[in-house]
Amino acid sequence: MYRATLSHTVHTFDDLATLLAKASPLRSGDVLAGIAATSSEQRVAAQYALADLPLRVFLDDHVVPYEADEVTRLISDTHDAAAFTPVAHLTVGALRDWLLSDTATTGVLSALAPGLTPEMVAAVSKICGLQDLMLIASKCSVVTRFRNTVGLPGRLSVRLQPNHPSDDLRGIAASILDGLLLGAGDAVIGINPATDSPERCHALLSMLDEVRQKLDIPTQSCVLAHVTTTLDLIRRGSPVDLMFQSIAGTEAANRSFGISLALLDEAHDATRALKRGTIGDNVMYFETGQGSALSANAHHGVDQQTLEARAYAVARRYRPLLVNTVVGFIGPEYLYDGKQITRAGLEDHFCGKLLGLPMGVDVCYTNHAEADQDDMDALLALLVAAGVNFVMGVPGADDIMLGYQSTSFHDALAMRDLFGRRPAPEFEAWLAKHGLTAANGRIRPREMPGPFRALLPDATQ
Amino acid sequence: MSDESVKPPAPLTPWDSLRRHTPARIGLERSGASLATGPLLSARLAHARARDAVHEPLDETRLGDELGVLGLPVVVVSSGAENRQQYLLRPDLGRRLAPGAETLLTPHAQGDIDVVFVITDGLSARATQSHAAPLLAAIVPLLQPDWSIGPLVILRQGRVAAGDAIAAALHARIVVVLIGERPGLSAPDSMGAYLTWRPRPQTTDADRNCISNIRPEGIGTSDAAFRLVYLLREMRKRQVSGVALKDTSERLEIGEG
């Protein structure tokens, strides 16, 4: 039982999951689950109680039972007590103060990451304002490598997302060329296939590999198929750079995705064994999003933001190259409007970075959410200010396969210009080599370079 | 404006021919790094249309009139969601019928009903408003007289699973739900058809077959009618729906090229 007394009114919370849920800033998914605070004052009362909670409580009191859930076991069994020492005596509220203090430098935060659990960072995020979420995250640095270096200070990378509703190879190639010309693709060139058919995925992987080799692009490619599909393709010799999978924060939600930690272990091992990375071996690409556990009816009464942070515990086991929270994709029943999407995007980035993950954010919304492009402009700028590793690049921000709006190649360029952020260094040199960079360092293609032209779908006709 | 970077991409850039391969918004004109005014407004217009499609109400009277000419009774019922906002926030209510809906349906539960068609707004009333009546006008003659067709049920604020309760109330073997799909920026009026053999309370999405993207620029009326009738016949013959039928229908789609 947890309690807070505000002006002689005692607010009580039955257990840790209830306390975390009631302390969560309002979002429709927690209301849908029936676990949200019932008044604004109750929410703040829960935040008071949470602020007084010693961090040590999270080591013994599990929001999802240890016996019932392999994600809880992963979190508990891999907790690094030595790394936890600098903050072991603190409460959640004191952790916020400590994170904001000048004591918490980039190096100190990197060393702390294995000592923090998802529930601790979720808890502290709930009492942080947006400004805190940005300021603290901006002090974290997570750098990963495969064929280039993602996440260095002063850099902003882009996933080039060239989806097509029927996986038409020429249509996808056209979108890739457009993105490359506009400086996108240094995080990954990653296609969401329209179907999970192994034959189509093989064709897509082969095409991506051919484009990358012909243009000698220092980047990595990925077809975002189910992990079992990609594993089979590896066995059949397809050119797989990165292993993709959507993950969630409970064992049951992961089961609904058709995955387990054992399967992810196998996938990680198989991909590393290919040794396709030239300067690093971060081979995993994960996607997450608040609400996925509730949507799979696998939330154990835990709020969606805490469960999202637990998904990051799954991710960090595999030292991924990229983790992408697809923040507004799930729809208004989980994140209702621009305000809720904005908060969730910054929370996810904050929690992931504190836990030591290379966080990117798909700044996005669906047409039935109360949001528009202005909301996305704002969230994108806030995330870049907070030091996000990468964002999405979709032609005109319109994903014609998945039916939602993400960020465009132009959006990413605007952010690079506004904040002085540059692409991954290897990719930046490649852009310059092809004459896509203006004298001031900005990406300003004037014409399609010859080698690109040779790859045009119609070049052979 | 002397900076040459404000010029549009070179005229030689072959975007026009590339656009034949994808409806994606490629090769957009730039101002600096940002979208030029033309493509900016074009994207804003597409979003405005998609938003309007989500919030536009279904004109039940007009739809009822259009369906009436098919010679089948038309019944209008509501889901548990009382308004649009509740519909968006509470998917569980959209999957249920409103209290009293079953009393409107049971008088039609006469004899052996092979299939009942449910027409619902979903996330785009514009889609069902435009495409449901022409599709049914193409399907009904293909099924009669071999098939006993239940009343045409117009469902307000419905989600796919609400069709299960309608089939149960009418004792229908198969339910087909025609529903407005989530509007994309380039497709505000896409309709989906979800087919389920003998729906039960434990029916999941894996037990359904779906024909998606029904609209003039996607799968047209006659094509959709052909596929739907094919699936219905297979369903009745093999007495299953969902994953078990999936392969056959996909082969069919590929065969039609």
pLDDT digits 0-9 by tens, A60-84? 999 999 999 999 999 999 999 999 9
From the CA of A404, how many Å to the nearest CA of chain B?
6
Cβ-defined contact of A368 to B54 (cutoff 8 Å) = yes
The strand pairing partners of A370, in sequence order, are A337
Q: What's the pLDDT at B1?
A: 42
The answer on pLDDT for A398 being more than 70 is yes
Q: Is B152 exposed, middle or buried (0-12, 13-18, 19+ CB in 10 A)?
A: buried
Q: How far is CA A161 from CA A87, A132, A210, A389, in A?
A: 40, 31, 17, 16
* A96-141 per-position pLDDT tens digit: 999 999 999 999 999 999 999 999 999 999 999 999 999 999 999 9
For residues A460 and A128, the model is more confident at A128
Q: Taking the CB of residue A303, how many other CB atoms lie within 10 A of it?
A: 28
Residue A244 host element (H or E): strand A243-246
Residue A213 is encoded by which pair of tokens?
A: 């080799």
Phi, psi of A320 (to 5 degrees): -65, 155
Instruction: With beta carbons less than 8 A apart as the criterion, state whether A90 and A148 touch.
Output: no
Residue A144 host element (H or E): strand A144-145
Q: What's the pLDDT at A188?
A: 98
* B60-86 per-position pLDDT tens digit: 999 999 999 999 999 999 999 999 999
**In angstroms, rounded to a whole number, what is the distance separating the alpha carbons of residues A326 and B199?**
33
Cα angle for residues B132, B135, B139 (degrees, 5° grid) = 130
**In angstroms, rounded to a whole number, what is the distance separating the alpha carbons of residues A138 and A149?**
18
From the CA of A185, how many Å to the nearest CA of chain B?
15
3-class DSSP state for residue B22? coil
Q: What is the DSSP string of A306-342?
A: HHHHHHHHHHHTT--SEEEEETTSS-TTTS-BHHHHH
Cβ-defined contact of A170 to B54 (cutoff 8 Å) = no
For residues B247 and A87, the model is more confident at A87
Q: How far is CA A241 from CA A176, A185, A265, A272, A273, in A?
A: 17, 14, 16, 9, 11
Phi, psi of B192 (to 5 degrees): -115, 150
The answer on pLDDT for A391 being more than 90 is yes
Whether chain B has a CB inside 8 Å of the CB on A154: the answer is no
Instruction: With beta carbons less than 8 A apart as the criterion, state whether B244 and B208 touch.
Output: no
Q: How many CA atoms lie within 13 A of A401 on its CB side?
A: 19
**In angstroms, rounded to a whole number, what is the distance separating the alpha carbons of residues B6 and B3?**
6
Whether chain B has a CB inside 8 Å of the CB on A32: the answer is yes
The CATH code of the domain that includes B93 is 3.40.50.11240
Share of chain B above pLDDT 70, in %: 89
Strands B172-180 and B152-156, sheet pairing: unpaired
Strands A243-246 and A221-223, sheet pairing: unpaired
Predicted confidence band of residue B250 (pLDDT cuts 50, 70, 90):
very low
Cβ-defined contact of B10 to A417 (cutoff 8 Å) = no
| Count of domains for chain B | 1
Polymer length of chain A: 461
Tell me the torsion sign for CA atoms A372, A377, A379, A380.
positive
Residue A405 is encoded by which pair of tokens?
A: 């709006």
- Domain hosting residue B218, numbered range: 59-253
Report ipTM for this prediction.
0.94
Indicate the DSSP class of residue B5. Answer: G
The answer on pLDDT for B11 being more than 70 is no
Cβ-defined contact of A32 to B17 (cutoff 8 Å) = no
Helix A227-235 crosses helix A198-215 at what angle (to 10 degrees)? Answer: 70
Mean pLDDT value of segment A303-326: 98
The answer on pLDDT for B253 being more than 70 is no
**In angstroms, rounded to a whole number, what is the distance separating the alpha carbons of residues B170 and B112?**
9
Contacts of A296 in chain B (CB under 8 A): none
**In angstroms, rounded to a whole number, what is the distance separating the alpha carbons of residues A133 and A345?**
10
| Residue B19 lies inside a defined structural domain of this protein | no
Interface mutation target, options A367, A372, A375, A442, chain B, most CBs of B under 10 Å: A367
Give the chain B residue whose CA is nearest to the CA of A456. Answer: B18
For residues A305 and B216, the model is more confident at A305
Strands A322-326 and A284-288, sheet pairing: parallel
Give the chain B residue whose CA is nearest to the CA of A447. Answer: B10
**In angstroms, rounded to a whole number, what is the distance separating the alpha carbons of residues A139 and B208?**
49
Helix, strand, coil proportions of chain B in percent (round to 5)? Answer: 45, 20, 35
What's the mean per-residue pLDDT of chain A?
96
| Residue B51 lies inside a defined structural domain of this protein | no
| Residue B30 lies inside a defined structural domain of this protein | no
The answer on pLDDT for B254 being more than 60 is no
Tell me the torsion sign for CA atoms B40, B43, B49, B50.
negative
**In angstroms, rounded to a whole number, what is the distance separating the alpha carbons of residues B246 and B239?**
14
Burial track B179-193 (b if 16+ CB lie within 10 A, e otherwise): bbbbbbbbbbbbbbb
Mean pLDDT value of segment B176-181: 96
| Residue B242 lies inside a defined structural domain of this protein | yes
Q: What's the pLDDT at A448?
A: 87
What's the mean per-residue pLDDT of chain B?
89
| Residue B32 lies inside a defined structural domain of this protein | no
Indicate the DSSP class of residue B24. Answer: S
Q: What's the pLDDT at B6?
A: 55
Cβ-defined contact of B182 to A397 (cutoff 8 Å) = no
Strands A149-150 and A144-145, sheet pairing: antiparallel
Polymer length of chain B: 257
> Between A395, A396, A444, which is nearest B5 by CB?
A444
Share of chain A above pLDDT 70, in %: 99
Contacts of B39 in chain A (CB under 8 A): 396
> Between A170, A177, A333, which is nearest B89 by CB?
A333
Cβ-defined contact of A438 to B30 (cutoff 8 Å) = no
The answer on pLDDT for B12 being more than 60 is no
Instruction: With beta carbons less than 8 A apart as the criterion, state whether A291 and A33 touch.
Output: no
Residue A29 host element (H or E): helix A28-32
**In angstroms, rounded to a whole number, what is the distance separating the alpha carbons of residues A151 and B171?**
59
Q: Which residue has the tokens 């293609």?
A: A445
| Residue B130 lies inside a defined structural domain of this protein | yes
Instruction: With beta carbons less than 8 A apart as the criterion, state whether B135 and B222 touch.
Output: no
Contacts of B5 in chain A (CB under 8 A): 438, 442, 444, 446
From the CA of A83, how many Å to the nearest CA of chain B?
42
For residues A8 and A215, the model is more confident at A215
Q: How far is CA B186 from CA A275, B47, B213, in A?
A: 40, 9, 12
For residues A408 and A166, the model is more confident at A408
The answer on pLDDT for B8 being more than 60 is no
Cβ-defined contact of A368 to B89 (cutoff 8 Å) = no
Share of chain B above pLDDT 90, in %: 74
Q: Which residue has the tokens 């297979």?
A: B234
| Residue B25 lies inside a defined structural domain of this protein | no
> Between A333, A438, A442, which is nearest B91 by CB?
A333
Whether chain B has a CB inside 8 Å of the CB on A381: the answer is no
> Between A332, A417, A445, which is nearest B9 by CB?
A445
H-state helical runs in chain B:
15-18, 37-55, 60-68, 84-89, 91-94, 101-105, 125-143, 162-170, 221-238, 243-256
Instruction: With beta carbons less than 8 A apart as the criterion, state whether B232 and B174 touch.
Output: yes
Q: What's the pLDDT at A286?
A: 98
Give the chain B residue whose CA is nearest to the CA of A413. Answer: B33
Share of chain A above pLDDT 90, in %: 91
Predicted confidence band of residue A295 (pLDDT cuts 50, 70, 90):
confident
**In angstroms, rounded to a whole number, what is the distance separating the alpha carbons of residues A412 and A235?**
36
| Residue B38 lies inside a defined structural domain of this protein | no
Mean pLDDT value of segment A264-268: 98
* A30-46 per-position pLDDT tens digit: 999 999 999 999 999 99
> Between A174, A368, A448, which is nearest B182 by CB?
A368
**In angstroms, rounded to a whole number, what is the distance separating the alpha carbons of residues A287 and A188?**
13
Residue B54 is encoded by which pair of tokens?
A: 């989500």
Instruction: With beta carbons less than 8 A apart as the criterion, state whether A44 and A1 touch.
Output: no
Interface mutation target, options B21, B31, B249, chain A, most CBs of A under 10 Å: B21
The answer on pLDDT for B255 being more than 70 is no
The answer on pLDDT for B158 being more than 50 is yes
Phi, psi of A404 (to 5 degrees): -150, 170
